């Protein structure tokens, strides 16, 4: 066991930090892109026009049934051979976006269609208009529904950035491969790289679980809602105090 | 085909300006005629109660007023404006129409991601009411319906009666000219029903114009100025509640009331 850790890690500290930064960049850019594209595809799948629905369904089925690695090779090597040469960051992000958008669109579609029709009707009856109903009624409820699945996808995407090692994307896994080829200490290097992934993914998933719980409990997260609830609390102070007094008396009895 | 009977043995209140006027309205779903040549009028400050069996077209009739359902034929007029005529929506500003007509649903349909007070604020803000004014109005309305102490609760933390009272406050927030109640107590237990009917009774006393679909016949008898019995998509009989409910002219109305009496 004493011979396990022999790599001079301090020599690789700054390279590892760069690689970590790149892994985070791939994750953030790709996740934002995948959420936006996934939402657009989900809306197309819920469209009244069948050609749009069909187009979105074909997209989803294609990218759900092709391995991510094949998509990465297609984006980086395939497009280059057809004359469209993408740099490795663009090709990497593009692959992750199109792949995860397919899964996210399924999560979003099911979340949006899971919002009870009565909610849309209530919005209509209140004169909210189509955009108002989607933005203030359907989307917030769909987000609540979609959050667990979306969070799982985010952590999965972070781990999948490691596949970009195949196109030397200079992220954590690629850095691990470089250190291994310099030191021939594969076990030690990949244990450390795995530990770094774990140190990223575990707190992230716990944080996202906390977020899910807060959203489910109706805790206002946006500053706008927090301000409104605070102002309402002030206006309702007397009424809320009365309720607490009654509860206290009941508890005493 | 029999013409509806208008029971008017006693002189009713003087006619008033109509907030809702429906003429010759028909509506089909998948070829099945749900409403057939229906006429209905709700005068300002009046309470009209629509009664009848489930599936008889009452709810569809009500939903045609704010165009949640679009009639196939006939005319719908709200607050003096024709909004739908001859199978076409004439109203160019549907959100405005729907702010003129408040609606309370059988299943409350509160927004579950918002607190009670936010439920009452949302539509006001979208209608351009300033934030503070919208909040103050929401709090006033929650007090009026007796649920201000639950103002910061989420709908799933409220009882059925509380949810329906918040829904009434939400419908009132835009100062509608008429309130539609679609079987507002059908999903409630007897105590919650009493609470909600209490709020509606107060609204009636305040002169709110209401169109009410209900199975609560004693309540209809108590507060309504006019009762309309709808069966098989047609108005069978209408008139003063005491006449229609206590001394109906049509055999079908008697049959319905007898079955209601034996069921309740």
Band of the pLDDT at B263, cuts 50, 70, 90? low
Cα separation, A155 vs A206, whole angstroms: 11
Band of the pLDDT at A240, cuts 50, 70, 90? confident
% of chain B surpassing 70 pLDDT: 92
Predicted confidence (pLDDT) at residue A23 exceeds the cutoff of 90: yes
% of chain A surpassing 70 pLDDT: 96
Q: Does residue A205 sit in helix, strand or coil?
A: helix
The structure tokens listed for A160 are 């999948």
Question: Which of A127, A137, A242 is opposite residue B111, by nearest beta carbon?
Answer: A137
Considering only alpha carbons, which residue of chain A is nearest residue B66?
A: A125
All residues of chain B having their beta carbon less than 8 Å from the beta carbon of residue A218 are 113-115, 154
Q: Which CB contacts under 8 angstroms, 24+ apart, belong to B89-96?
A: B91/B67, B94/A127, B94/A129, B94/B67, B95/A127, B95/A128, B95/A129, B95/B127, B96/A127
Hey, where are the domains in chain A?
Answer: 11-219, 222-253
**Domain assignment present for B130:** no
% of chain A surpassing 90 pLDDT: 83
Find residue B212's DSSP bridge partners: B49, B181
All residues of chain A having their beta carbon less than 8 Å from the beta carbon of residue B121 are 228, 232
DSSP character string of B148-172: GGGTTS-GGGS-HHHHHHHHHHHHH
The pLDDT assigned to B105 comes to 93
Say if A136 is an interface residue toward chain B (CB within 8 Å).
Answer: yes
Q: Confirm if A41 and A105 have CB atoms less than 8 A apart.
A: yes
CA distance B46 to chain A (A): 21
**pLDDT single digits (tens) A127-186:** 998 999 999 999 999 999 999 999 999 999 999 999 999 999 999 999 999 999 999 999
Say if A231 is an interface residue toward chain B (CB within 8 Å).
Answer: yes
Chain B residues with CB under 8 Å of a chain A CB are 66, 68, 94-99, 101-103, 105, 107, 109-115, 117-118, 121-123, 126-127, 131-132, 135-136, 138-139, 142-143, 148-152, 154, 170-171, 174
CB pairs under 8 A between A and B: 106
**Domain assignment present for B140:** no
Cα separation, A153 vs A27, whole angstroms: 11
Contact B149 A240 (CB under 8 A): yes
Say if A223 is an interface residue toward chain B (CB within 8 Å).
Answer: no
To test the contact with chain B by mutation, choose from A125, A217, A240 the residue with the greatest count of B C-beta atoms within 10 A, namely A125
Band of the pLDDT at B11, cuts 50, 70, 90? very low
Q: Comparing C-alpha atoms, which of B176, B19, B20 is closest to residue B99?
A: B176
Q: Report CA torsion sign: B61, B59, A119, A125.
A: positive
**Domain assignment present for B64:** yes
End-to-end CA distance of chain A: 65
Q: Does residue B177 sit in helix, strand or coil?
A: coil
Residue with tokens 């294609």: A62
The pLDDT assigned to B9 comes to 42
The pLDDT assigned to A174 comes to 95
Contact B135 A235 (CB under 8 A): yes
Q: Give the best-scoring range by mean pLDDT among A22-36, B69-83, B171-185, B186-200.
A: A22-36
Q: List all residues 6 or more positions away from B59 whose beta carbon is below 8 Å from its beta carbon.
A: B182, B183, B213
All residues of chain A having their beta carbon less than 8 Å from the beta carbon of residue B118 are 225, 228-229, 232
Quick one: three-class SS letters along B72-141?
CEEEEEECCEEEEECCEECCCCHHHHHHHEEEECCCCCCCCCCCHHHHHHHHHHHCCCCHHHHHHHHHHH
What pTM, to 2 d.p., does this model score?
Answer: 0.83
The pLDDT assigned to B220 comes to 87
- What average pLDDT score do residues B69-93 get? 91
Residue with tokens 């679609």: B182
Q: How many domains does chain B have?
A: 1
All residues of chain A having their beta carbon less than 8 Å from the beta carbon of residue B169 are none
Considering only alpha carbons, which residue of chain A is nearest residue B112?
A: A141
The structure tokens listed for B130 are 């300033």
Contact B126 A140 (CB under 8 A): no
Residue with tokens 């899964």: A103
Query: What is the rounded (10 degree) CA torsion for A14, A15, A17, A23?
Result: 170
Residue with tokens 């579950």: B112
CA distance B31 to chain A (A): 22
Average pLDDT, chain B: 89
Q: Comparing C-alpha atoms, which of B3, B4, B52 is closest to residue B259?
A: B52
Residue B205: give its domain's CATH number.
3.40.50.300
Contact B105 A236 (CB under 8 A): no
Cα separation, B210 vs A30, whole angstroms: 54
CA distance B214 to chain A (A): 19
DSSP code for A15: H
**Domain assignment present for B63:** yes
Residue with tokens 């309540």: B219
CA distance B4 to chain A (A): 30
Strands B81-85 and B88-89: antiparallel
Average pLDDT, chain A: 92
Question: Which of B107, B127, B152 is opposite residue A232, by nearest beta carbon?
Answer: B152
Question: Which of A124, A228, A240 is opposite residue B68, by nearest beta carbon?
Answer: A124
**Domain assignment present for B170:** no
Band of the pLDDT at B8, cuts 50, 70, 90? very low
Find residue B50's DSSP bridge partners: B213, B228
Say if A8 is an interface residue toward chain B (CB within 8 Å).
Answer: no
Question: How buried is B139 (Cβ within 10 angstroms: 0-12 exposed, 13-18 middle, 19+ buried)?
Answer: buried
End-to-end CA distance of chain B: 31
User: Which helix (DSSP H) or strand (DSSP E) does residue B5 occupy?
Assistant: strand B5-7
**pLDDT single digits (tens) A34-84:** 999 999 999 999 999 999 999 999 999 999 999 999 999 999 999 999 999
The pLDDT assigned to B260 comes to 75
Band of the pLDDT at B10, cuts 50, 70, 90? very low
The pLDDT assigned to B162 comes to 94
Contact B151 A122 (CB under 8 A): no
Question: Which of A121, A129, A233 is opposite residue B68, by nearest beta carbon?
Answer: A121
Contact B138 A232 (CB under 8 A): yes
Cα separation, B20 vs B211, whole angstroms: 9
Q: Confirm if A171 and A165 have CB atoms less than 8 A apart.
A: yes
All residues of chain B having their beta carbon less than 8 Å from the beta carbon of residue A119 are 109, 111
All residues of chain B having their beta carbon less than 8 Å from the beta carbon of residue A111 are none
Residue with tokens 């066991």: A1
For residues A99 and A217, the model is more confident at A99
The pLDDT assigned to A3 comes to 67
Band of the pLDDT at A2, cuts 50, 70, 90? low
Assigned CATH class of A11-219: mainly alpha
Considering only alpha carbons, which residue of chain B is nearest residue A216?
A: B113
Residue B254 domain boundaries: 17-110+182-263
Q: Does residue A129 sit in helix, strand or coil?
A: helix
Cα separation, B39 vs B61, whole angstroms: 10
Q: Does residue B209 sit in helix, strand or coil?
A: coil
Question: Looking at A8-12, A30-34, B133-137, which range is the least confident one?
Answer: A8-12
The pLDDT assigned to A241 comes to 82
């Amino acid at each position: 066991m004493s011979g396990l850790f022999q790599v001079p890690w301090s020599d690789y500290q700054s390279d590892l930090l760069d690689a970590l930064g790149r892994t985070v960049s791939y994750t953030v850019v790709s996740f934002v892109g995948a959420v936006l594209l996934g939402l657009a595809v989900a809306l197309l799948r819920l469209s009244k026009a069948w050609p749009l629905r069909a187009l979105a369904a074909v997209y989803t089925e294609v990218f759900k049934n092709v391995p991510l690695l094949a998509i990465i090779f297609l984006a980086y090597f395939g497009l280059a051979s057809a004359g469209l040469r993408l740099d490795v960051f663009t090709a990497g992000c593009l692959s992750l976006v199109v792949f995860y958008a397919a899964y996210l669109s399924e999560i979003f579609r099911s979340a949006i269609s899971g919002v009870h029709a009565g909610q849309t009707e209530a919005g209509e009856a209140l004169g909210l208009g189509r955009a108002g109903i989607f933005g203030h009624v359907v989307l917030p409820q769909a987000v609540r529904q979609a959050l667990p699945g979306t969070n799982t996808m985010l952590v999965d995407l972070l781990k999948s950035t490691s596949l970009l090692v195949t196109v030397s994307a200079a992220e954590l896994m690629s850095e691990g491969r470089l250190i291994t080829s310099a030191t021939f200490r594969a076990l030690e290097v990949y244990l450390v790289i795995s530990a770094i992934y774990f140190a990223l993914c575990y707190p992230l998933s716990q944080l996202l679980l906390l977020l899910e719980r807060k959203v489910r409990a109706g805790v206002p997260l946006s500053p706008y809602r927090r301000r409104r609830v605070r102002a309402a609390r002030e206006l309702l102070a007397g009424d809320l105090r009365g309720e607490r007094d009654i509860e206290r008396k009941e508890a005493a009895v | 085909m029999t013409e509806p009977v208008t029971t008017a043995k006693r002189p009713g209140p003087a006619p008033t300006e109509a907030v809702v006027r429906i003429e010759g309205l028909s509506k089909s779903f998948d070829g099945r005629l749900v409403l057939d040549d229906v006429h209905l009028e709700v005068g300002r400050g009046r309470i009209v109660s629509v009664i009848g069996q489930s599936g008889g077209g009452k709810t569809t009739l009500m939903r045609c007023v704010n165009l949640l359902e679009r009639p196939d034929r006939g005319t719908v007029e709200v607050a003096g404006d024709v909004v739908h005529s001859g199978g076409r929506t004439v109203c160019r500003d549907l959100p405005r129409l729907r702010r003129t007509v408040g609606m309370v649903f059988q299943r409350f349909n509160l927004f579950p991601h918002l607190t009670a007070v936010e439920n009452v604020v949302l539509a006001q803000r979208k209608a351009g009411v300033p934030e503070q004014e919208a909040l103050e109005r929401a709090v006033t309305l929650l007090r009026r319906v007796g649920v201000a102490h639950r103002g910061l609760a989420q709908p799933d933390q409220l009882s059925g009666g509380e949810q329906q009272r918040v829904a009434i406050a939400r419908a009132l927030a835009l100062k509608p000219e008429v309130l539609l109640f679609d079987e507002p107590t059908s999903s409630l237990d007897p105590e919650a029903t009493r609470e909600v009917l209490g709020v509606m009774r107060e609204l009636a006393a305040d002169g709110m114009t209401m169109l009410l679909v209900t199975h609560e016949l004693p309540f209809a008898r108590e507060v309504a100025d006019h009762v309309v019995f709808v069966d098989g998509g047609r108005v069978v009989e209408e008139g003063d509640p005491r006449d229609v409910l206590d001394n109906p002219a049509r055999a079908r109305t008697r049959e319905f009331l007898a079955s209601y009496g034996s069921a309740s």
